[in-house]
């Protein structure tokens, strides 16, 4: 089975060095857009995807994410050694032909990839299968049920489904060196029924299906999700909403030894901690009091977080930045949006340390 399709060579757009307000660390940025054919069936304008978003990076610098083609279809991708590869979950998991709408979100040091796919609404088959079947999808519009969103693991040339027992949907976001997976489970929405979840390896484990939840206080909070973890799993990051304390305010968190520590970027109205590396440098996104969304980097010494904004690139200005993942070398990946409404991936390379 060869699920990969080579799309083309990497196209990096260099941008000026950005010195962050804290001046402790500066970064050089590169913008990334996945190339795809302007011809059918993708119809990508000028041979470039309509939208590119990066979700994860491993120690070797391999990058995974998602792109949207010219007809609005979503695909996962891998960027390794300067070449793009499409990663789409086969339709056989949902009882259909062709490939399924897919998003690659995390990649391990060994190259194992996790992410999500969307099962199609295909009655009576998709509504008659078991509640926790990868093919289960109870509705399509308006809008398509979150129960149709399932998790996947791509390992050594094979795809497997990642679901949590008793729940129709799951979104795996990060995979550790030992194969443990972090993300969330959900039922029919990604609000009240979404909870942080983890899957641990057991048995042969060539395919991770199901597993068990860690003893986790975030499970008391709806709309929570594990974003990342240190390689040994000792510190887990993510976000949650605590409706009892501050309704509709989204907080980041660090979970260490069963103790949950809420984390909010100062003066923010929303904070998400998406990843953490072995040196306990954490990255994520926050929204300021003016409603502008930024990326951030938090060092392990507890000093003020560094705001990470992709510099503007002509002819458009950047208006939104999300830092999604950081590897052991401190290389950060994520996505940004420009004033033209286009979403691009980015790589931020540490330049200097004062």
Is the pLDDT at 5 greater than 60? The verdict is no
Is 139:168 a contact under the CB 8 Å cutoff? Answer: no
| pLDDT-based confidence at residue 211 (cuts at 50, 70, 90) | very low
pLDDT tens, 235-248?
A: 999 999 876 665 56
Residue 176 pLDDT > 70, yes or no? yes
What confidence tier does 352 reach under pLDDT thresholds 50, 70, 90?
A: low
Among 175, 92, 174, smallest CA distance to 133 is for: 92
pLDDT-derived band at 24, boundaries 50, 70, 90: low
The mean-pLDDT minimum among 3-17, 182-196, 237-251 falls in 3-17
On whether the CB atoms of residues 176 and 167 are closer than 8 A, the answer is no
H runs (alpha helix) in 18-171: 125-128
Residues forming beta bridges with residue 63, ordered by sequence position:
57, 79
Q: Which residue in this structure is represented by tokens 């050694």?
A: 81
Q: Which is more confidently placed, 156 or 67?
A: 67
Instruction: Please state the length of the chain.
Output: 354
Q: Mean pLDDT across the stretch 139-165?
A: 87
What is residue 3's predicted lDDT score, i.e. its pLDDT? 27
268-279: pLDDT as tens digits: 999 999 999 999
User: What six digits make up the tokens of 17?
Assistant: 């060095």
Lowest mean pLDDT segment, chosen from 129-138, 198-207, 261-270: 198-207
Q: Is 62 helix (H, G, I), strand (E, B) or coil?
A: coil
More confident residue, 287 or 314: 287
According to the model, what pLDDT value does residue 207 have?
Answer: 33
Distance CA 137, CA 125 (A): 9
Q: Given the structure tokens 């979403």, which residue do they identify?
A: 343
Helix (H) and strand (E) counts in the chain? 1, 26
Question: What does the alpha-carbon distance between residue 153 and residue 130 come to, in Å, rounded to a whole number?
Answer: 21
Please, are residues 59 and 329 in contact by the beta-carbon 8 Å criterion?
Answer: yes
Q: Are 126 and 120 in contact (CB under 8 A)?
A: yes
Confidence of residue 219 (pLDDT cuts 50, 70, 90): low
pTM summary value? 0.88
Name the least confident of 46-50, 71-75, 221-225: 221-225
**Contact between 32 and 10 (Cβ < 8 Å):** yes
pLDDT of residue 10: 27
Question: Is 70 exceeded by the pLDDT of residue 285?
Answer: yes
């Amino acid at each position: 089975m060869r699920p990969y399709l080579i799309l083309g060579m990497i196209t990096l757009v260099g941008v000026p060095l950005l010195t962050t307000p804290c001046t402790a660390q500066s970064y050089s940025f590169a913008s990334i857009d996945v190339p795809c054919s302007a011809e059918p069936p993708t119809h990508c304008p000028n041979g470039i995807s309509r939208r590119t978003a990066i979700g994860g990076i491993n120690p070797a610098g391999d990058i995974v994410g998602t792109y949207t083609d010219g007809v609005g279809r979503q695909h996962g991708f891998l960027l390794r050694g300067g070449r793009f590869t499409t990663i789409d979950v086969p339709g056989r998991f949902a009882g259909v032909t062709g490939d399924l709408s897919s998003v690659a979100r995390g990649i391990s040091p060994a190259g194992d990839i996790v992410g999500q796919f969307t099962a199609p609404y295909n009655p009576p088959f998709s509504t008659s299968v078991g509640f926790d079947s990868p093919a289960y999808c109870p509705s399509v519009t308006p809008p398509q049920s979150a129960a149709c969103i399932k998790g996947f693991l791509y390992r050594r040339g094979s795809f497997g489904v990642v679901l949590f027992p008793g729940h129709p949907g799951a979104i795996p976001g990060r995979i550790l060196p030992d194969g443990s997976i972090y993300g969330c489970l959900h039922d029919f929405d990604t609000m009240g029924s979404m909870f942080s979840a983890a899957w641990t390896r057991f048995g042969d484990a060539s395919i991770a299906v199901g597993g068990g939840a860690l003893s986790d206080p975030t499970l008391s909070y709806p709309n929570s999700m594990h974003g990342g973890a240190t390689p040994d799993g000792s510190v887990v990051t993510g976000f949650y909403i605590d409706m009892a304390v501050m309704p509709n305010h989204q907080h980041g968190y660090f979970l260490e030894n069963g103790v949950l520590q809420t984390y909010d970027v100062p003066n923010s109205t929303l904070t998400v901690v998406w990843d953490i590396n072995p040196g306990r440098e954490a990255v994520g996104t926050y929204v300021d009091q003016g409603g502008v969304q930024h990326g951030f980097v938090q060092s392990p010494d507890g000093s003020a977080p560094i705001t990470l904004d992709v510099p503007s690139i002509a002819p458009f200005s950047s208006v939104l930045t999300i830092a999604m993942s950081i590897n052991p070398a401190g290389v950060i990946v994520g996505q940004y949006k420009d004033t033209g409404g286009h979403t691009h991936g980015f790589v931020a390379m540490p330049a200097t340390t004062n």
